[in-house]
Amino acid sequence: MMTNLSRILDASGNKKLRIASKSIRCVPLLKQIMAASDRFTGVMCFSVAEAQFLSEQGLDDLLVAYPTWEKHSLMEVGEVILKGKQLTLMVDDEEHIARLEAVGQAIGVIFPVCLDIDLSVSWPGLHFGVRRSSIRSREQLIQLAKRIKQSQWVQLDGVMGYEAQIAGVGDRVPGRWATNQVIRLLKGHSIRRIAQQREEWVQEIKAMGLSPRFVNGGGTGSLKVTSQEDVITEIAVGSGFFTSVLFDFYRDFAGEPAAGFALEITRRPAPEIVTCLGGGYPASGASGADRLPTPWLPEGAKLLPLEGAGEVQTPVQYRGDRSLKLGDPIFFRHAKAGEMCERFTEILVIKGDEVVDRLPTYRGEGKCFL
């Protein structure tokens, strides 16, 4: 993982980096990354319950990347803020602001918020990006920024724009030459449009007398291009630390596989076929073969196309030079970094042939946030 960490620092220029916790889900690893460089300045969380937990573990400058609505949760967040912790909530709708104002007034806390702007690109019949924020125009942005400026219980702390169509879409997928070319063209157009839009919109906010503490963008797949924008103060990064399978297919970031899981061989149903216990660990997103875990070691192992990875057993075709026995492991890599640690209670840190540490995941600490 340290090799990937160094490559992330190199690829991001001199920008500050915010760790996307959903890709790590392990407090000791989050702390190790934070301690590796003073350019790691905070954590992007995926829920308020997780942010509260990380705050209790001594982490600070916590940005919750997704809006929170449930009143009791907001009240608990308010208590954390009243204790002096830096915890910022995401908004993209006037109803979010009204909800925070009601809770803030009730408990006497001013909520720091981050405006999440939509950076996707749409053409007739094609939407390139993710369906995320409702702020899709300059007018919508100004209206919401004015609403925040007028509020007694909400203050603007940051601006975020996630360029998912650059950071989260592979453009050198084997066997898809034509598709890769189209995606590269779309990415090139998006990069130019996003840089201009982000610069103009942030300047609009500042011209209103608002002073966001940070402007967040990026992801592992867009480190190089996002770091070139002057308006960006920090870049979110998470998957690159583990470099899961989908990140093998990016031109602009080359990491090394740093995390995986092992399944035990328990059956040999046919020549060149072994069956492992468990394995049904698909990644999130549109369902497809690219969301399944990938046999990694020994070389020569692959899933069966009609069975894939099963809930309680996974057959694997093996055409390698080893003689596999019952009880031997097949090592897999997860398609995405985010969900892997939800399946296991600890991460084994391996150096050479030796396990040198055992680190509890969120699940190992009895936590399940989403």
Of 29-38, 42-51, 175-184, 289-298, which range is least confident?
175-184
- pLDDT of 133 > 60? The answer is yes
Task: Report CA-CA distances (Å) from 273 to 38, 266, 267, 315, 317.
Answer: 49, 11, 9, 7, 5
- pLDDT of 178 > 90? The answer is no
- Position 53 confidence tier, pLDDT thresholds 50, 70, 90: very high
Which of these, 167, 159, 87, lies nearest to 116 by C-alpha position? 159
**Whole-angstrom Cα distance, residue 123 to residue 31?**
42
pLDDT at 2: 87
Task: Report CA-CA distances (Å) from 110 to 55, 98, 107, 132, 283.
Answer: 18, 13, 9, 25, 37
- Position 171 confidence tier, pLDDT thresholds 50, 70, 90: low
- pLDDT of 189 > 60? The answer is no
- pLDDT of 127 > 70? The answer is no
Strands (E) across 61-129 are located at 62-64, 87-91, 111-117, 121-123, 126-128
* Percent of residues, the chain, with pLDDT higher than 70: 89
191 beta partners: none
Burial class (CB in 10 A: 0-12, 13-18, 19+), 52: buried
- The continuous run of DSSP H or E covering 8 comes out as helix 2-11
**Whole-angstrom Cα distance, residue 215 to residue 183?**
26
For 261-298, what is each residue's pLDDT tens digit?
999 999 999 999 999 999 999 988 878 888 899 999 99
- Position 124 confidence tier, pLDDT thresholds 50, 70, 90: low
Alpha helices in the chain (DSSP H): 2-11, 27-36, 48-56, 71-82, 94-107, 138-149, 164-167, 177-207, 223-226, 239-242
- Position 221 confidence tier, pLDDT thresholds 50, 70, 90: confident
- Position 42 confidence tier, pLDDT thresholds 50, 70, 90: very high
Of 158-162, 196-200, 330-334, which range is least confident?
196-200
pLDDT at 128: 60
- pLDDT of 251 > 80? The answer is no
**Whole-angstrom Cα distance, residue 183 to residue 206?**
34
Query: Which is higher by pLDDT, 89 or 194?
Result: 89
pLDDT at 228: 86
- Position 317 confidence tier, pLDDT thresholds 50, 70, 90: very high
Of 69-73, 133-137, 235-239, 323-327, which range is least confident?
133-137
pLDDT at 40: 96
Q: How many other CB atoms are there within 10 angstroms of residue 256's CB atom? A: 10
Mean local confidence (pLDDT), 317-336: 94
Amino acid found at 127: H
Average pLDDT, the chain: 89
- Position 1 confidence tier, pLDDT thresholds 50, 70, 90: confident
Q: How many other CB atoms are there within 10 angstroms of residue 296's CB atom? A: 17
For 327-349, what is each residue's pLDDT tens digit?
999 999 999 888 899 999 999 99
Q: Give me the phi and psi of 254, to 5 degrees please.
A: -120, 105
- pLDDT of 241 > 80? The answer is yes
pLDDT at 292: 94
Q: How many other CB atoms are there within 10 angstroms of residue 218's CB atom? A: 28
Cα 346 to the center of its chain, rounded Å: 20
**Whole-angstrom Cα distance, residue 215 to residue 217?**
7
